[in-house]
């Protein structure tokens, strides 16, 4: 089962993330001023290389704050027991998965994602552009494979990317759980130059893993 595989990986993910973190990125707060019963909308980007800073070549997530500003972080805060509508602008190229189970969409409302407007419940990474990354919250059984961009395209070179660059638009929703801190990460080994692709950005908060804080 995808949920059990993700859960088994969660403990290791947390330990490695904390071991590699040197400074704490900012937390983007989506809970401030939230009105009960209203959904929360969260937008991410995934980029093939962040393009600046100490690790300019690393793959990375970033989050759009409620103000509209892009923030290089993977720490975010949402209210408990609330519908979370997620939009991901996916700018990175893909490849076949080593574990085809993570090509399944699990834990979302309805059991599907919208990929460029089309309902999808599984991505066959052995055809087309493959899978670039996943958006996975193991403790919730949530896994969304992010379909890759054609590697021959003129890919965005530095974040934040604009929608004029080739990208896929992925949308899905889930319900936030009770208060707590929930680790999330990408399960596609995309740490180029590290053993089995699992080092560097894969183990660093602010790049390919982080925490969703849920508050009452």
> Domain spans of the chain?
2-18+41-203
Rounded Cα distance between 70 and 64, Å, is 4
pLDDT average, residue stretch 55-70: 97
Tokens representing residue 209 in the block: 């893993």
Residue 6 has pLDDT above 90, yes or no: no
Q: Which helix (H) or strand (E) holds 50?
A: none
Residue 41 has pLDDT above 90, yes or no: yes
Does residue 160 have a cis peptide bond before it, meaning omega lies within 30 degrees of 0?
Answer: yes
Residue 34 has pLDDT above 50, yes or no: yes
| Contacts (Cβ under 8 Å, ≥6 apart) of 151 | 93, 94, 129
- Low-confidence winner among 93-97, 154-158, 209-213 (lowest mean pLDDT): 154-158
The pLDDT value recorded for residue 2 is 57
pLDDT (tens digit, 9 = 90+) per residue, 94-141?
Answer: 999 999 999 999 999 999 999 999 999 999 999 999 999 999 999 999
């Amino acid at each position: 089962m995808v949920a059990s595989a993700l859960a088994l990986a969660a403990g290791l993910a947390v330990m490695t993330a904390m071991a590699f973190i040197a400074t704490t990125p900012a937390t983007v707060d989506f809970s401030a001023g939230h009105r009960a019963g209203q959904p929360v909308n969260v937008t991410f980007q995934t980029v093939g290389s962040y393009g600046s800073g100490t690790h300019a070549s690393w793959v990375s997530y970033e989050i759009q704050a409620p103000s509209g500003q892009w923030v290089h972080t993977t720490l975010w805060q949402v209210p408990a027991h609330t519908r979370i509508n997620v939009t991901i602008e996916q700018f990175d190229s893909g490849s076949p998965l080593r574990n085809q189970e993570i090509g399944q969409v699990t834990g979302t409302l309805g059991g599907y994602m919208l990929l460029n407007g089309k309902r999808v419940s599984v991505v066959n990474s052995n055809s087309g552009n493959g899978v670039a990354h996943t958006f996975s919250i193991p403790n919730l059984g949530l896994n969304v494979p992010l379909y890759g961009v054609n590697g021959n395209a003129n890919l965005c070179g530095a974040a934040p990317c604009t929608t004029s660059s080739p990208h896929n638009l992925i949308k899905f929703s889930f319900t936030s759980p009770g208060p707590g801190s929930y680790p999330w990460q990408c399960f596609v080994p995309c740490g180029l130059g590290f053993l089995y692709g699992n080092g560097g950005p894969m183990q660093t908060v602010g790049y390919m893993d982080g925490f969703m804080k849920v508050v009452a």
